[in-house]
Amino acid sequence: MKLVADPDTAAWLGARPALEWDAGNSTKSQTKHGFSTADVESLLDAPVLFAGRIVEPTHEEARYLLLGVTAGGRRAALVFARRGEKLRPISCRAMRKREKEEYDAAT
């Protein structure tokens, strides 16, 4: 995955945007990676590291990566899209080793 900085989205995250859930994205992270919607929402209540906009692989809609810790203490990587003023979670999974190192260095 290749990332680039996106200062506007980083600032937007600071306002704690509302999350947009539907049948597709509310179950994917739970069934595939074991993160509930409550886990995903709790990520934004703690210090996060906005890693950047994902440029590879490419997608029709811009996607972003956020690193944080859930209320339960699990380190998570959240891939999301920005839809107007709402954050639409795409997938939430455990952080990879390199992501843990980046998160630890930044927080």
- CB within 8 Å of 16: residues ≥ 6 apart: 44, 45
What is the pLDDT tens value at each position of the chain, 107 positions in all?
Answer: 999 999 999 999 999 999 999 877 777 767 788 899 999 999 998 889 999 999 999 999 999 999 999 999 999 999 999 999 999 999 999 999 999 999 999 98
What pLDDT, on a 0 to 100 scale, did the predictor assign at position 54?
96
Q: What's this model's pTM, rounded to 2 decimal places?
A: 0.92
Q: Where are the domains of the chain?
A: 2-106
Q: Tell me phi and psi for residue 50, to 5 degrees.
A: -85, 110
What pLDDT, on a 0 to 100 scale, did the predictor assign at position 46?
86
Q: Where are the alpha helices (DSSP H) in the chain?
A: 7-13, 23-33, 37-43, 97-106
